[in-house]
Structure 1
């Protein structure tokens, strides 16, 4: 997603309706009692305050419980959180006065930050927990280190096809074998799901990129007549499925968890899941560079990653975290060994270079 993006529209946006951060103001939500970024301490530990940007909502709540509070307890360093969007972050950096020291944001936005020269190149030698962590290469860039994964997956009603279950995007596209209205993610929610259209048309997972845009739209033509709604918010697929207005939809994983736990006849299908990731980085001009590295390193510890995943269904970037997760939690995460094999990482570089052209074509196609 764009900040999907965890911020702006994302699934982060979360399970149960995590909301986007406040874009109009630098609203600080303090974790702990520190109010000064350089306050003196009466105890043995530093009371310096570190300011972290994240997207808030239930995603931010999980950050506070699994990362910020334990970090403060261990180091004495207070954490304050600012919920602002990409444009405001960039403006602060370009003015030479960033009011935050660490950025928690999507890999897509970190690519944009890199182009704008707005983030520090990371010194990985300062991240001791990165060594031997086994973080996927796609999540290790010059200015960002992957923190966790989320995914777009298929969801469907379990009470409409006599026990038959769709097992692929080809099944989603097959309205004869699996009849009923569908829903698909629209442009206002995030990147159009061209990858799903290509998988439905037989393109292998490892041959998706660069995307064959013409082939993808030809495939989309085959499902268009059965698409009742192009959803624009993360909550809408659950509403449509719950009301039986559609029988299948793509969805940000985690969005249906509460409904499923309440007994709704809904299920996820992980085959062909499109993974994206959130990452951590440091803005140019950060006031507390050393402490920023401390927090990022802390967030990469397997026990911290596992604690976060137990609270919020975003998957660890550090494989060793799975050794600390209960099986039920591990089985429902995008980076589990099984799901890594059956899904794919969205190519953020390709989308950055081609997103505008695809968006224009998508708008034309949906209104044709």
Structure 2
């Protein structure tokens, strides 16, 4: 029985054939041509990255960038089946850590960077097999018509105070990546620097107290933004980028930076990728300060290259995750703890939801 090759394999074979047919006189140029296939979050993110990263990279190197959608489960399945059909992975740091522990990722070639300097990358996100390409945050958002002036929740303890700050609420579900156990522990008086290892049982006891006021546990950023926009809820946790888009559309919403959770989107490269070298070059190109500042500002995320902040105004820096203000009032999510405990927490969370 004949098997039709996938479009990725056909395309790669055509490119390889073209390279082999190129006269030796043009070998130098042939080395700069080809394609890097990138896993991305999709949507408007791709439009921003195409404008500020992918097209400029192609103009600089001759390497075309193709974006595809792929879940974490699909990425793992690709690796286990020895059928890797993409090169660079742009996804949450926790998902990349899972792939790293499976032995799926190539080392980041920091020693060969020519556009970026490794020492300029924030230390917390510079790892041997993955490197952060932007910072985002989970923040406490509220409706400014419900909570007017200075009479709004300023901490997770306030969020849990349904008597003083009444109204329907939302929090993240495990399906979003992780449940907001950290916020429950903060509400119960645990200091930010003593959250990990998370006391899951304690966190769920605290969750039980607020559960009657929770309209829904959201599983996507789009749902969280919609619930706030439609006033289905008047306060809750949400990713800052999703929230800022709604605020910029004149929705009566605001948020506090106090006790926000800093999270990381990272780059990783499949060790069995067809174009490891091209993926390494794209990662290097993407993280240079002037490039990163452009896409981070457009997406309302924070840069991981410290020098990118040189092009920020004080107002821009003040609302940027990972910046000075953010580090003073927030905390980094411990993705290693979540990796090691996700299955246990998922089972416990599922049982708690059924009570």
TM range (shorter): 0.7 to 0.9
Q: Which residue number corresponds to residue 8 of structure 1? A: none
Counterpart of 1:294 (choices 277, 281, 297) is: 281
In the TM superposition, what is the alpha-carbon distance from 1:133 to its structure 2 partner?
0.6
- For the Cα contact (< 8 Å) 1:38–1:48, is it kept in 2? no
- For the Cα contact (< 8 Å) 2:135–2:321, is it kept in 1? yes
Aligned length: 338
Q: Which residue number corresponds to residue 108 of structure 1? A: 94
Q: Which residue number corresponds to residue 182 of structure 1? A: 169
Alpha carbons of 1:27 and 1:189: their partners in 2 closer, same or farther (altered >3 Å)?
A: farther
- For the Cα contact (< 8 Å) 2:171–2:216, is it kept in 1? yes
The question of 1:218 aligning with 2:205 is answered yes
Matches of 1:191 and 1:121, distance apart in 2:
27
Q: Which residue number corresponds to residue 249 of structure 2? A: 262
- For the Cα contact (< 8 Å) 2:89–2:269, is it kept in 1? yes
The question of 1:150 aligning with 2:136 is answered yes
Q: Which residue number corresponds to residue 220 of structure 2? A: 233
In the TM superposition, what is the alpha-carbon distance from 1:37 to its structure 2 partner?
6.0
Residue deviations 1:267-323, cap 9 Å, x none?
A: 021211112211112112222233222111111100011011122122111121111
Question: Which consecutive unaligned segments of at least 5 residues does structure 1 have?
Answer: 1-25, 29-34
The question of 1:120 aligning with 2:110 is answered no
In the TM superposition, what is the alpha-carbon distance from 1:39 to its structure 2 partner?
4.2
Q: Which residue number corresponds to residue 342 of structure 1? A: 329
- For the Cα contact (< 8 Å) 1:86–1:109, is it kept in 2? yes
Alignment of 1:1-368 (within 5 A): 36=15, 39-40=18-19, 45=29, 46-128=32-114, 129-137=116-124, 139-163=125-149, 164-368=151-355
Alpha carbons of 1:162 and 1:96: their partners in 2 closer, same or farther (altered >3 Å)?
A: closer
Residue deviations 1:149-201, cap 9 Å, x none?
A: 12111110112234212211111111222122211122332311000001111
Alpha carbons of 1:95 and 1:186: their partners in 2 closer, same or farther (altered >3 Å)?
A: closer
More divergent stretch after superposition (183-192 vs 198-207) = 183-192
Alpha carbons of 1:155 and 1:37: their partners in 2 closer, same or farther (altered >3 Å)?
A: farther
More divergent stretch after superposition (175-184 vs 150-159) = 175-184
More divergent stretch after superposition (269-278 vs 84-93) = 84-93
- For the Cα contact (< 8 Å) 2:38–2:88, is it kept in 1? yes
Alpha carbons of 1:174 and 1:312: their partners in 2 closer, same or farther (altered >3 Å)?
A: same
Matches of 2:326 and 2:49, distance apart in 1:
24
Matches of 2:273 and 2:148, distance apart in 1:
58
Task: State the SS of the aligned residue for 2:128.
Answer: coil
In the TM superposition, what is the alpha-carbon distance from 1:95 to its structure 2 partner?
4.0
More divergent stretch after superposition (35-44 vs 296-305) = 35-44
Alpha carbons of 1:158 and 1:27: their partners in 2 closer, same or farther (altered >3 Å)?
A: farther
Task: State the SS of the aligned residue for 1:188.
Answer: helix
- For the Cα contact (< 8 Å) 1:309–1:329, is it kept in 2? no
Matches of 1:166 and 1:91, distance apart in 2:
43
Residue deviations 1:35-84, cap 9 Å, x none?
A: 73674587974322222222321122222111111111112222122222
Matches of 1:303 and 1:234, distance apart in 2:
28
- RMSD of aligned residue pairs (Cα, Å): 2.5
